[in-house]
Structure 1
Amino acid sequence: MISRPETAGWRKCLLLLLLGLSLAFPVFAQAPPSQAPTPVIAARAELARWSDPLDALGTLKADESVTLSAKVTETIESLEFEGGERVEAGDVLVRLDDDEAQANLRAAEALRDERQAAVNRLAQLQQRNLGVRADVEDSRAQLRQAQAELESLQAQLDNYQIRAPFSGEVGFRDISIGTLVSPGDELVTLDKLDRMKLDFRVPETTLGSLEPGMSLTATSAAFPETAFEGEIATIGTRVDPVSRSVSIRALIDNPQRKLRPGMLMEVTVTLHPRQALVIPEAALIPEGERHYVLVIDEDSDAQVARRQVKVGERRPGEAEILAGLSAGDLVVSHGVERAHDGERVRLLGIADDDTSVRALLEANRDAGGV
């Protein structure tokens, strides 16, 4: 058993040993260093144009579309198009063989001239009191009949030339010279594509928010990077009793003629346009049904404060703030998970339309700050 004096000696030796270690290795005696400020990227709450989106799927139609056909039975003499090109209103697209019609027209012209000469002779005889007035009237009636037959043949002659009724793009050429065509045979399609009709359906519950002239955007899988602007032209007069939806027709300008009839479009109608306070959606901290943000106090050495906000509508990457923030407030948008209420942060930069988050990170990485 160790005596009490020996125990006291061991304690004294242990204390001397620890003192020696602290003198030999000062690092063990130092206090832990203070935590460095958390690097973050911020964004300002800004007023921006905002609207409530109404999404739908629609189908495109040409502003004007027609399938041209013959009005007479005859063979094709010439084709004035190759397919796919633009033509102007009045351009001849197909010529039919009109030899017989031309011969009939010349015969009618000769008959008209003969009747005109007869009228002139009888009129001269009547002036000399050598003719009967009734003969003159009969001759003039025959002349009018001949003139009417001539005009009828001239009108029929137009049926041998198929013209474009409006300016547009012709479709494929599926006919050849010498083909015998009859009334109703499809010869060529013609579409006016500089403006398109977009038909889609929306729930009847949105009728109170829609009116002609409202703007919309439409996108297509064929051109995913392009948003086509348009506006509502007509709202259907009837609601489908089965789907409880109403038809909407919009007009979209298509000056480059990228869009084609039959294309499927994703439509977003702009409802309730307004000025809204907007922040990046990444700045929100959700907790149940509540949302918070970290506001940077620029006058207090970049200290952050946790603040509850009321969130309105959202759109990709952005959120509308109804209460809790003011225009110009600086909020943490990247680094939210590392920053805490009451702490100081190191601001790497402010992201906006001209400065991306990637650019800020690369700039700080090059400077050795990240």
Structure 2
Amino acid sequence: MSRKATRIAALLAIALLAALFFFFQDDILGKDQPQKTVAAETAAQPEAPPQTPVEAMVTQATSLRDAISVNGSTVPNEEVAITSEVAGKIISINFREGDYAKAGQVLVQLDDDELQAERKRLVVQRQLNEKIAERLKALYNKEGVSLQEYEVAAAEVEKTEADIALVDAQLRKRVVRAPFAGRLGLRMVSEGSYLSPGTPIVSLVSINPIKLEFDVPEKYSRSIETGGRVDFRLDGKADSFQATVIAKEPNIDPETRTLRFKAQAPNPGGRILPGAFADVKVELEEYAGTILVPTQAIVPELNDKKVFRYENGKAQPVVVTTGIRQERNIQILEGLNAGDTIITTGLLQIQPGAPVRISKLN
């Protein structure tokens, strides 16, 4: 066969194979080819992001009282070191350490034998002078003596009475009494010892009511008035105590720029001891109709702060202006309204506009 015939035969064979492929391509490629294409197109579509579970709260308008915490200390209502005004030997001690003493109770008796003897002598002298003055008065009425003689006798009576009053005052100083009711401390003298004027005998402390001293920075001092209330806590005690402001210093301390206040609180049973450290909470100003959110709901940024508000199943960022910060909450001045739903947890896992699911609503 010639080359030309061979080439024509080959072309016819190729054409026949092409026609057979065209008519039987479904059988050759398979009938499920369109299904694979649909599945591939379905797989190419992006899946919806999952919803992040979060906790949220509904904001409400509430009242807020601005407050600061300062350090203070408890002081006794009254405190004095019992001493004697005069010198003398102690002949009796009429108290026990740690006892409660009433106002005017005798605590110490000093030796007064000499003064008692002097008083008896003056009493006898007064009686004698009174008799002399009576006789001279009778004689003067009968013009038996001069007026001057009678007046001298009457003056002697008055002088003796004055001497007795002076001795009585000295005798009273030989008795040391409690100037006010309170708790006695530890005794510093013993019977038989010689007591000099001003020597401490025992301390006397009145602790009901107890007083509280605390310093407030100058910029807050104008918000505190006499009669106001403060709360304070003591180390080792779970209870909170309330005191009433009773006084303040007239001047601001130029070194610390603080103003010292004094308050008092009832202390039945002496639960609060003087000298204790106190954490004092001072309330300043009250704000009505303000919005508070938990501090963990605030997301700080470079130049502002924001919270995430729940809107139609998504977390939308809202820039807010904050005010007073408390231990757990913070005041929102601008950016939120009462009734807004604020996301409080999961803030690190969500992005602006991300879908979220509220698992717990407070």
TM range (shorter): 0.7 to 0.9
TM-score by length of 2: 0.75
Q: 1:161 to 1:330 in 2, by over 3 A?
A: farther
Alpha-carbon spacing, 1:164–1:208, altered in 2? closer, same or farther (3 Å): closer
Alignment pair present for 1:75 and 2:89: yes
Instruction: State whether residues 65 and 284 of structure 2, in contact with CA within 8 Å, keep that contact through their aligned partners in structure 1.
Output: no
C-alpha contact (below 8 Å) 1:63/1:197 kept by paired residues: no
* Equivalent in the alignment of 2:171: 157
**Any unmatched runs of 5+ in structure 1?**
23-27, 351-370
Provide, for residues 237-281 of structure 1, a one-character-per-residue CA deviation record: whole Å limited to 9, x for no partner: 2542xx352441322314243444433334443334433322221
SS in 1 for 2:55: strand
Structure showing the higher strand proportion among its residues: 1
Q: Distance in 1 between matches of 2:338 and 2:98?
A: 54
Q: Structure 1 vs Structure 2: percent identity of aligned residues? A: 21
State the match for 1:166 in structure 2: 180
Structure 2 segments unaligned to the other structure (5+ residues): 1-17
Once the two structures are superposed, the pairs formed by residues 5-154 of structure 1 within 5 Å of their partners are 12=30, 35=50, 38=53, 40-42=55-57, 44-53=59-68, 55-154=69-168
Cα distance in 1, alignment partners of residues 284 and 232 from structure 2: 15
SS in structure 1 of the partner of residue 77 of structure 2: strand
What does residue range 273-288 of structure 1 map to in structure 2 within 5 Å?
Answer: 273-275=286-288, 276-288=290-302
| 1:289 alignment counterpart | 303
CA contact (8 A) 2:57 2:342 kept: yes
Partners of 1:271 and 1:131 lie apart in 2 by 84
Query: Could you list the per-position Cα deviations for residues 183-240 of structure 1 after superposition, in whole angstroms to 9, with x for gaps in the alignment?
Result: 11101112232131415363x5x27745542544443334365354343721342542
Q: Tell me the alpha carbon deviations over residues 114-149 of structure 1, each in whole angstroms, 9 at most, x when there is no partner.
A: 222222222233334444332221111000100000
CA contact 1:46–1:279 (8 Å) conserved in 2: no
Q: 2:322 maps to which residue? A: 311
Q: Is the 8 A contact 2:60 2:291 kept in 1?
A: yes
Instruction: Classify 1:8/1:174 alpha carbon distance in 2 versus 1 (closer, same or farther; 3 Å).
Output: farther
- 2:215 maps to 200
**Which residue in the other structure is 1:252 paired with?**
264
CA distance in 1, matches of 2:116, 2:28: 136
Q: Secondary structure at the match of 1:237?
A: coil
Q: How far does residue 324 in structure 1 lie from its aligned partner after superposition? A: 1.8
Q: Look up the match of 2:276.
A: 263
Amino acid at match of 1:253: A
Post-superposition shift, 1:177? 2.3
Moved more, 180-189 or 229-238: 229-238
Moved more, 70-79 or 312-321: 70-79
Instruction: Give TM-score, length-normalised by structure 1.
Output: 0.74
More deviation, 65-74/323-332:
323-332
How many residues are treated as equivalent by the alignment?
Answer: 330
How many Å separate the matches in 2 of 1:82 and 1:338?
70
Q: Which has the larger radius of gyration?
A: 2
Distance, in Å, in 2 between the alignment partners of 1:89 and 1:117 is 41
2:343 — aligned with what? 332
CA 1:201–1:305 in structure 2 vs 1: closer, same or farther (change >3 Å)?
A: closer
Q: Which amino acid aligns with 1:270?
A: E
Give the conservation status (yes or no) of the 8 Å contact 1:293–1:307: yes
- Is the CA contact (8 Å cut-off) linking 1:37 and 1:344 kept in structure 2? yes
Q: Which moved more, 1:173-182 or 1:185-194?
A: 173-182
Partner of 1:345: 357
1:179-194 to structure 2, matched below 5 A, reads 179-193=193-207, 194=209
Please give the secondary structure, in 2, of the residue aligned with 1:327. Answer: coil
Q: Which residue of 1 aligns with 2:234?
A: 220
- Partner Cα separation in structure 2 for residue 220 and residue 88 of structure 1: 28
Q: CA-to-partner distance for each residue in 1:43-95, whole Å, 9 max, x for gaps?
A: 53341222152x44344433322111112222223323223333332222222
Contact 2:60 2:339 in 1 (8 A): yes
**SS at 2:287's partner residue?**
strand
Residues 230 and 143 of structure 1: is their aligned pair in 2 closer, same or farther, counting only changes over 3 Å?
same
Q: CA deviation digits over 1:286-341, x for unaligned, max 9?
A: 333332333456xx6x7654433211120101101101223344433344445664
Alpha-carbon spacing, 1:84–1:296, altered in 2? closer, same or farther (3 Å):
farther
Q: 1:265 is matched by which residue type in structure 2?
A: A
